[in-house]
Amino acid sequence: MGAFDFNSYDQRKLKDKLEYTLDQKNLFKEIDAIPELTGAGVVYIDHKYTIVELRPFKAVCRVEPVNVVLREPPSMMNQRDFAGHLKSSQQNPRESRLVSEASGTVLSCGAAVLGWIVVTGSSAAIPLTAGTSTAITYLSVAAAAASSAQCINGLFRTGAEPFAPQANDWLDSQEWYQNITQALDLISLAGAMAAGAVTLKTVKLLQTSSSKPTKEILKSLTRAERTRLTKEIVRFNNPGISTRALKNLMRSGGVAKRFSNIQISHAIRIQLKDAIGATLSFSGSAVSGEVNALAIGIWEQVDL
């Protein structure tokens, strides 16, 4: 038994009327000619909101039911008002898209600002991150640039909503635009992965340097531990250097004997910010970018 099988007097009357006024066979043929709508159900709603099912849905090409709805203007509404009503009701889903765009933009812009703060500190972190900060600087610049591009893209899309909402639909339908968004997501992801790897490396370095837990290392270090940590860092910076040469360098003042707690904490904070920044950037793209396209793929949506 279908959803519209219960026939009231009005429904029977409407069905009889449609037998004469509507060329149903031709209509079904035309609908079936559209590949996406083959087997679609056809529903008719008259001006008194009487609903009749002209044809039930048949799972020919798709499992999910799809219906073509034909609707008359309500009796108390003229054609122009009805057109306006339909237009505004079609625009309602766009409001939720505006919110989605805006939230994605906030995340991307937050990630961009955080990314630029990381770039600010990246040069200062070079002596403390075993030289890897030089490479990380380039990656963090790339991640910050990608986040900036995502931010501007999000702002453009948010700004386009009140001016030309159809522009966003057009952009979403373009392959090259999707490719660019994907590339930006990948760059942000690369930044996140690199930042994560360097953070792990630094934490490991700290753990090998002291028997204390990482949290305590970040809070305080003894003088001996600090010196040991500094030696480890300089060894990382100069892999071929011998212990004797290292001592000579320290004695001559060529390298710092020890870094202060504040310097070490700052260096780790920079990397943590980098990691969080890149993660935020990924979340930003998850809301409005490539990852969102995957989520949309799960839903079956038919625009009529």
Q: Which residues bind to another protein, rule: CB under 8 A?
A: 105, 109, 112-113, 116-117, 119-121, 123-127, 141, 144-145, 148-149, 151-156, 158-164, 167, 170-171, 174, 177, 180, 238, 241, 245, 248-249, 252-255, 262-263, 266-267
Q: How far is the CB of 100 from another protein (least distance, A)?
A: 16
**Residue that has been written with the tokens 């995340």 in this structure:** 107
| DSSP reduced 3-state for 38 | coil
Q: Which residues touch 110 (CB under 8 Å, ≥6 apart)?
A: 280, 284
Q: How far is the CB of 138 from another protein (least distance, A)?
A: 10
DSSP strand pairing (67-71 vs 41-45): parallel
* Gap between the Cα atoms of 274 and 193, Å rounded: 10
Q: How far is the CB of 191 from another protein (least distance, A)?
A: 13
Query: And the tokens for 253?
Result: 């003042």
* Gap between the Cα atoms of 55 and 142, Å rounded: 56
Cβ distance 111 to 246 under 8 Å?
Answer: no
Query: And the tokens for 82?
Result: 């009805």
Q: How far is the CB of 137 from another protein (least distance, A)?
A: 9
**Residue that has been written with the tokens 């700052």 in this structure:** 266
Cβ distance 279 to 114 under 8 Å?
Answer: no
- Left if phi > 0, otherwise alpha if psi is -120 to 50, otherwise beta: which for 31? alpha
**Residue 45 or residue 113: which is nearer to another protein going by CB?**
113
* Gap between the Cα atoms of 181 and 201, Å rounded: 30
Q: How far is the CB of 304 from another protein (least distance, A)?
A: 23
Q: How far is the CB of 217 from another protein (least distance, A)?
A: 18
Q: How far is the CB of 203 from another protein (least distance, A)?
A: 18
**Residue 41 or residue 115: which is nearer to another protein going by CB?**
115
Q: How far is the CB of 130 from another protein (least distance, A)?
A: 14
Q: How far is the CB of 139 from another protein (least distance, A)?
A: 13
Query: And the tokens for 110?
Result: 């937050």
DSSP strand pairing (41-45 vs 51-55): antiparallel
Angle between helices 132-163 and 165-172 (to 10 degrees): 130
**Residue that has been written with the tokens 């990482």 in this structure:** 214
In 3D space, the residue among 259, 276, 278 whose CA is nearest the CA of residue 129 turns out to be 259
In 3D space, the residue among 88, 81, 128, 114 whose CA is nearest the CA of residue 237 turns out to be 128
